[in-house]
Chains A and B, each alone.
Chain A
Amino acid sequence: MAGMSPSERRLQKELMSLVKEPPPGVSVDPDIAERNLLHWIIDIRGAAGTLYEGERFQLQFKFSNKYPFDSPEVTFVGQNIPVHPHVYSNGHICLSILTDDWSPALSVQSVCLSIMSMLSSCKEKQRPPDNAFYVKTCNKNPKKTKWWYHDDSV
């Protein structure tokens, strides 16, 4: 752990515990994350009994050197972006803990679980109503978006 920045030290600990005891449906390739601790790709599987059962998704986490004081930038990447009222087709996620409600006591694991639970509680697969406009006009970094968190039901 010598020579690591405080953010990297915390991320190293988180990575080890996520590899050792991953929550159901979550897996991380330690080689990819260890090559660059500030950039992780996490595989998640849609939970059984939900609209996403059997589907696989990839989440990208990018951390700044201010982590955990600064929230990670979390987006869906890859071939399969879940069709969900809070997930834009470019992978951006409207979830308050990723910006306004971030806390340094949260972790990669708790963010993954929040996203899984957001998917699991979905009743109808659809894109956000403003998807087309948002995807055309947004910044590449979802943290630059001024999100409106108006729907707590899903």
Chain B
Amino acid sequence: MKVRIKNWTGVASWRWIANDDNCGICRMAFDGCCPDCKLPGDDCPLVWGQCSHCFHMHCIVKWLQSQTVNQQCPMCRQEWKFNNK
């Protein structure tokens, strides 16, 4: 028997691999987006600090911009450094 495929539809699911379910700043799900965005995914990415804590990029950037003196991780208060792994 020979089968000829006329067309097919691919379905995929995705999720961020983070050590928590929610962003510690906005409390929204990591698999959702920050409250300023409409759609989850690459437009509202997650970022990690060298301290290993993870946030929506938009959330942590907003926090760092509001801090004039010390730029600390909201979770552990270590100096915030982006982990560009």
Contact = CB atoms under 8 A, between A and B. Distances in A.
27 contacts: A5-B35, A6-B26, A6-B35, A6-B36, A9-B26, A9-B28, A9-B35, A10-B26, A10-B27, A10-B35, A66-B66, A68-B25, A68-B26, A69-B62, A69-B63, A69-B66, A70-B66, A103-B72, A103-B74, A103-B75, A104-B24, A104-B25, A104-B59, A104-B63, A105-B24, A105-B74, A105-B75
A70 B65 CA distance: 12
A13 interface: yes
A109 to B, nearest CB: 12
A103 B77 contact: yes
Contacts of A10: 26-27, 35
Q: How large is the interface on A (under 10, 10 to 19, 20 to 34, 35 or more residues)?
A: 10 to 19
Contacts of B62: 69
Contacts of A6: 26, 34-36
Q: Report the 3 A-B pairs with minimum CB-CB distance, sorted nearest first.
A: A6-B35, A105-B74, A105-B24
B42 to A, nearest CB: 21
A29 interface: no
Interface of A: 5-6, 9-10, 13-14, 66, 68-70, 103-105
Q: How large is the interface on B (under 10, 10 to 19, 20 to 34, 35 or more residues)?
A: 10 to 19
Interface of A is mostly: loop
A111 B80 CA distance: 23
B35 A105 contact: no
A19 to B, nearest CB: 15
A123 B62 CA distance: 40
Nearest to A10: B27
